[in-house]
Chains A and B, each alone.
Chain A
């Protein structure tokens, strides 16, 4: 396996090709697996150094599964993940695993659950270094102090020996961020890191993450259900629906000019603080279904206001309609022909 460590600023850090993650669905205790839940179905994207990709979608659409698969909390059913030009789809050797886990990290949604209540802040933040057996104790201590200062826990030595329950929600999430960034990872999955925080703290934490991303040149996969947050944080947006990526493009382009009916509906659902404002809103009916053994048709077919005959027969593929703005919908497929 070639060792490619030197990479320039625009290099692709993470490349995901046709990623699939299916979960077996068991009915009853002794029955054999007959059907699969297609949590992530054929998702492809790439993240360059210093870029933030927002993964947007309803709950249950496979955002978190995608994120967890990328940091190998789940192993992918199919597809290929390339990380820093190395194939990390199947981390078979211990050396590869150590290398990968030293460079990828995840920030979890719930700061109350993602910190072990029986560990001190020092233990929690220095744990990744501890696991990777990096540096001496002194080095770890200094690194911990430094990163705590950077995430705005100051003075760090006042917090070092406290337990998570002695901290506020915002402080906890800062500690979780510090823990994720202490090893200078190349790639971080942030799974709705602000959704459990108070609105007043949310912006602070988002700003902090923005600063850290630009300072440390990390690649971020930001999972959120909030389009406003995605717009604030990300360079690119990818909209997911029932395990499928339905739209992908630069953030402003997707927000200003949504193409897929689902994205349109999502954006029209964002509240606007102006009582006079009238906009064309798209109403979609029903709720999100379950992607258990889905039929080969557009997953949005049942709810789509523009559903056509062809939508029920085939699955639309993600096509580039306008300079990197990709959409998976037959409405735009036709236009091109």
Chain B
């Protein structure tokens, strides 16, 4: 008896807290993966672009909005909102970049830089929410249909084929005609639609590889239930790939949003697509105007291109972490 209590105290010292050890292990794995990721130039480039945009949207904009763009800071005439308000101090709009408006104003006298920064956090939110929904659905459906096979598998795979063939943008246009689409509903629609599409097929094929590994049989021999195997064995093994596709999906979501708001189909206050839409409907992106009024379309266009590219580059960098074959040795 004395022996056993002694043994217990001895081992309790070793097992101070298994969760702490788990966190340490995760940190170690993260450091290792970070080392691989940081070696890929393209991934780091993407990460830096995303960081710059994130800082601009989440830090710089609130500061600027509460200081120099404060409603009363400009001649206290009317409450001036740089995103939607009209600057009466400027006679002709759109005005080219000046000290008061670093990126100029749009045809409605609104500050381009303010619009750009205001939209940034929303673009991030849209992209990430849509991508999270996509990946969550894709992982779940992919693993379930790989694991059970048969009718479930056939149903979801044919559904995925259907969604893949689906004209995505026209569908969104029709939807936006039927209901008021704001940013959150758009994220939901994009997430749901692409969650049943291509990502499901990719993750299913990965899950099929994991499913036949002996460690699954080993768990079955111990009496593991199907949900236990899916959650504890299959999903952790396809998680890196899910994460990778999440990055590519952020790109897709932001791009779809830009397209839709360019057509003026979204019920949102401001977005990069909407900025180009404003310039376009006022006739400033036609003929020679396109060169003259470059500040109307170049900043939002650049922002869309850069952020979409950046998330794609991060995905490429992660690809090297996930697929050891791509690493340069």
Contacts and interface: CB of A to CB of B under 8 A. Distances in A.
Nearest to B235: A118
B8 to A, nearest CB: 7
Contacts of B219: 127, 131
Interface in B46-85: none
Interface string A141-163: 11001000000000001000100
Interface range on chain B (Cβ under 8 Å from partner): 20 to 34
Interface in B227-283: 228, 233, 236-237
A113 interface: yes
Interface in B16-60: 18, 21, 25
Interface string A82-121: 0000000000000001101110111011100111111110
Given A137-B18, A141-B18, A145-B11, A132 B222 contact: yes
Nearest to A100: B223
Contact of A101 (B15, B221, B233): B221
A120 B25 contact: yes
B14 to A, nearest CB: 5
Contact of A71 (B18, B213, B221, B224): B221
A104 B221 contact: yes
A141 B222 contact: no
A97 B223 contact: yes
Interface in B195-234: 213-215, 217-224, 228, 233
A138 B15 contact: yes
Contacts of B7: 142
A113 B221 contact: no
A337 B267 CA distance: 95
B323 interface: no
A176 B236 CA distance: 20
B8 A138 contact: yes
Interface string A216-232: 00000000000000000
Contact of B220 (A73, A132, A145, A176): A73
Contacts of B12: 138
A103 B18 CA distance: 27
A131 B21 contact: no
Interface in A34-79: 68, 71-73
Nearest to B15: A141
A22 interface: no
A108 B236 CA distance: 22
B232 to A, nearest CB: 8
A38 B25 CA distance: 47
A141 B11 contact: yes
B223 A102 contact: yes
A127 B222 contact: yes
**Interface residues of chain B: helix, strand, loop or mixed (majority):** helix
A88 B217 CA distance: 19
B25 A118 contact: no
B222 A131 contact: yes
Contacts of A97: 223
A138 B10 CA distance: 12
Contacts of A179: 218
Contacts of A176: 218
A19 B18 CA distance: 44
A247 to B, nearest CB: 28
B8 A142 contact: yes
Contacts of B228: 131
Contacts of B217: 68, 73, 106, 108, 114
Given A110-B214, A115-B215, A161 B25 contact: yes
A158 to B, nearest CB: 10
Contacts of A132: 222-223
A141 B202 CA distance: 38
Contacts of A248: none
Contact of A108 (B15, B218, B224, B237): B218
Contacts of B18: 122, 137, 141
A128 interface: yes
Contacts of A120: 25
Nearest to B25: A161
B7, B8, B213, B236 — which one has the most chain A CB atoms within 10 A of its CB? B213
B222 A101 contact: yes
B280 to A, nearest CB: 50
Contacts of A106: 217-218, 221
B218 to A, nearest CB: 5
Contacts of A101: 221-223
A175 to B, nearest CB: 11
Contacts of B214: 108-110, 113-114
Nearest to A189: B221
Nearest to A126: B18
A86 to B, nearest CB: 16
A131 B25 contact: no
B222 A105 contact: yes
Contacts of A183: 222
Given A118-B236, A131-B223, 18 more contacts: A72-B221, A73-B221, A100-B223, A101-B221, A101-B223, A102-B223, A106-B217, A106-B221, A110-B214, A114-B215, A117-B237, A118-B237, A120-B25, A122-B18, A128-B222, A131-B228, A141-B15, A161-B25
Q: Across chains A and B, which 3 residue pairs bring their CB atoms closest together, nearest first?
A: A101-B223, A128-B222, A114-B214
Interface of B: 7-8, 11-12, 14-15, 18, 21, 25, 213-215, 217-224, 228, 233, 236-237
Interface of A: 68, 71-73, 97-98, 100-102, 104-106, 108-110, 113-120, 122, 127-128, 131-132, 137-138, 141-142, 145, 157, 161, 176, 179, 183
9 contacts: A98-B223, A108-B218, A114-B214, A114-B215, A119-B236, A122-B18, A132-B222, A138-B12, A179-B218
